[in-house]
Amino acid sequence: MGSTKNVSAFEAMLLSFIPCFTAPTHGTFAAVAVGWMLCLGRPTMVRIIASAGEFAKKHLSTYHRFFRAARWDMNDLWRILVTRIVIPLLAPEGPIAVAGDDTTCGKTGRKVACAGWYRDAVRSTVKQKVIHWAHSWVILTLQVRLPFWPLRVVSFPIMARLYRKSDQCDEAHPFRTRGELALEMMRTLAEWLPGREFELLVDGAYPSEDLLKGLPENVNVVSRIRRDAAIYKLAPASKKRGVGRPPEKGGRLPTPAKIAQSATRWERRVVVMYGRKRVRLLHSFEALWWKVTREKPIQIVIVRDPSGKEKDDYFFTTDLTMDAARVVELYSARWGIEEAIREAKQVMGFDEVQGWKERSVERQAPFALMLLSLAKAWYVRHVAPKERPEAMPSAARIITRLRMAFWRRRISALSAPRREVRKFAEALESALAAAA
């Protein structure tokens, strides 16, 4: 009975996507989604449909056309995931923390659409730079702390965009930097969730005019600032209207590193960083980072380890009212997106999808990310409240748990009458063939 309820709960999530498809295509979508979850090998369409078993009732060519030619928009799937599933379940109120980052997915074949030569961040080192043939994706994830595990940040992919090099762009796909792609996605989120506030967490490579100049007013950024950044005092308040334009910035300040050396007023705080409570000394002040944020003031937070074992960190936020300790905790929460990307690659086949046509490329990899979020949301909503595990299980264990629920229901449904044993054997053979 428990397996039946768990499977029904996951199927109910798939029903939420009905507005994104025609009736026949939604059936195809549901079969592909279930088959992808049950697939034990590389997620080729043949393996996926073999794993889907009785869920796949159409000809194989129909499923092959799903990513390449069917009429549906991946952005519609993201909208349903965000507005009907993830946000109502995990962040129904308060500011929404969203992390942004990019990653590459290695490919083979010169004719794979939109592929190019990119740095492999996993295999590269400080001394050696490794380049590989790949796709580059910019990804946004929802970062949440769940009541079961208050120290752990769990990351749910909620949107992705394919980065294209300039020679791969045209009128339909104008060139956008990774910062501009992140900006485009944040604007879309703000449109889907009007009235909500967002906290965008990005690493030090993202703060630039491409990202910050067009952010909606309800989006604040938390990121790193260079230790040698050129920062300035806020523009002085002009008392009289004189000749010429009023000054846009004040005098030049010392670099954040020099300010840290001379600072005498430090606030001792306990902060949650990377799953642990730590004691840190914090020094914060307001300034202008003219090259990046122009006339928009920022709050800079310098973080020091009182034991002296770790080097000083330098963070900033565009929210001048944010508590300095929260700035530190939010930036450390950004690490969850790195874990989500690794899970998507290791468990969901995010970097193993087979499409090489442009439309398939734009759909298949994000589809894997969306399924990862669905599986995590299913576990948090229907399994964790009953079992109360001491720690959030890995994505591999969550997917295995969902697969076992499907298999238990399949066995109980097919093996009761003796005449149905053959159907059960055929389903088992299909799964074993897909895992080979």
Q: At what angle do helices 421-435 and 395-414 cross, to 10 degrees?
A: 160
Taking the C-alpha atoms of residue 375 and residue 157, their distance in angstroms, rounded to an integer, is 11
pLDDT at 1: 44
The last residue of one of the domains, among 320, 347, 372, is 320
Same domain flag for 248 and 121: no
Question: 267-273 and 96-106: which strand pairing?
Answer: unpaired
Domain assignment present for residue 231? The answer is yes
pLDDT of 309-350, one tens digit each?
999 999 999 999 999 999 999 999 999 999 999 999 999 999
Same domain flag for 42 and 86: yes
pLDDT of 147-158, one tens digit each?
888 888 999 999
pLDDT of 196-205, one tens digit each?
999 999 999 9
Taking the C-alpha atoms of residue 130 and residue 151, their distance in angstroms, rounded to an integer, is 35
Question: 219-224 and 198-202: which strand pairing?
Answer: parallel
Q: Would you say residue 116 has pLDDT above 80?
A: yes
pLDDT at 406: 87
- Check if the beta carbon of residue 264 is closer than 8 Å to that of residue 273: no
pLDDT of 268-285, one tens digit each?
999 999 889 999 999 999
Same domain flag for 357 and 298: no
Taking the C-alpha atoms of residue 328 and residue 315, their distance in angstroms, rounded to an integer, is 7
pLDDT at 391: 82
pLDDT at 424: 61
Same domain flag for 177 and 256: no
Taking the C-alpha atoms of residue 294 and residue 248, their distance in angstroms, rounded to an integer, is 9
- Check if the beta carbon of residue 85 is closer than 8 Å to that of residue 13: yes
Same domain flag for 233 and 170: no
Q: pLDDT category, 108, cuts 50, 70, 90? A: confident
What percentage of the chain reaches a pLDDT higher than 90?
Answer: 69
pLDDT at 123: 85
Domain assignment present for residue 217? The answer is no
Domain assignment present for residue 123? The answer is yes
Same domain flag for 61 and 153: yes
pLDDT of 394-426, one tens digit each?
999 999 989 888 888 877 655 555 555 666 666
pLDDT at 425: 62
Taking the C-alpha atoms of residue 201 and residue 212, their distance in angstroms, rounded to an integer, is 12
Taking the C-alpha atoms of residue 91 and residue 153, their distance in angstroms, rounded to an integer, is 13
Domain assignment present for residue 252? The answer is yes
Same domain flag for 26 and 64: yes
Same domain flag for 11 and 130: yes
Same domain flag for 48 and 193: yes
pLDDT at 150: 86
Which one, of 293, 302, 317, 321, lies nearest residue 235 by Cα?
Answer: 293
Same domain flag for 103 and 247: no
Domain assignment present for residue 277? The answer is yes
pLDDT of 193-242, one tens digit each?
999 999 999 999 999 888 888 899 999 999 999 999 999 999 887 666 66
Q: pLDDT category, 295, cuts 50, 70, 90? A: confident
Write down the mean pLDDT value for the chain: 90
- Check if the beta carbon of residue 85 is closer than 8 Å to that of residue 139: no
Taking the C-alpha atoms of residue 85 and residue 81, their distance in angstroms, rounded to an integer, is 5
Same domain flag for 311 and 362: no
pLDDT at 421: 60
pLDDT of 10-58, one tens digit each?
999 999 999 999 999 999 999 999 999 999 888 999 999 988 888 888 9
Domain assignment present for residue 419? The answer is no
Domain assignment present for residue 432? The answer is no
pLDDT at 385: 86
Residue 347 CB contacts under 8 Å (≥ 6 apart), including other chains:
372, 395, 396, 399
Separation in Å, CA 322 to CA 54, 93, 97, 151: 53, 18, 13, 20
Q: Stretch 353-378: mean pLDDT, rounded?
A: 94
Neighbours of 415 (CB within 10 A): 13
The last residue of one of the domains, among 261, 294, 320, is 320
- Check if the beta carbon of residue 199 is closer than 8 Å to that of residue 214: no
Q: What is the 3-state secondary structure (H, E, C) of the chain?
A: CHHHHHHHHHHHHHHCCHHHCCHHHHHHHHHHHHHHHHCCCCCCHHHHHHHHHHHCCCCHHHHHHHHHCCCCCHHHHHHHHHHHHHHHHHCCCCCEEEEEEEEEEECCCCCCCCCEEEECCCCCCCCCCCEEEEEEEEEEEEEEECCCCCCCEEEEEEEEEEECCHHHCCCCCCCCCHHHHHHHHHHHHHHHCCCCCEEEEECCCCCCHHHHCCCCCCEEEEEECCCCCCCECCCCCCCCCCCCCCCCCCCECCCHHHHHHHCCCCEEEEEEECCEEEEEEEEEEEEECHHHHCCCCEEEEEEECCCCCCCCEEEEECCCCCCHHHHHHHHHHCHHHHHHHHHHHHCCCCCCCCCCCHHHHHHHHHHHHHHHHHHHHHHHHHCHHHHCCCCCCCHHHHHHHHHHHHHHHHHHHHCCCHHHHHHHHHHHHHHHHHHC
Domain assignment present for residue 143? The answer is yes
Query: Domain containing 259: what range?
Result: 226-320
Same domain flag for 70 and 174: yes
Give the chain's domain count. 2
What backbone phi and psi angles, to 5 degrees, belong to 19? -65, -15
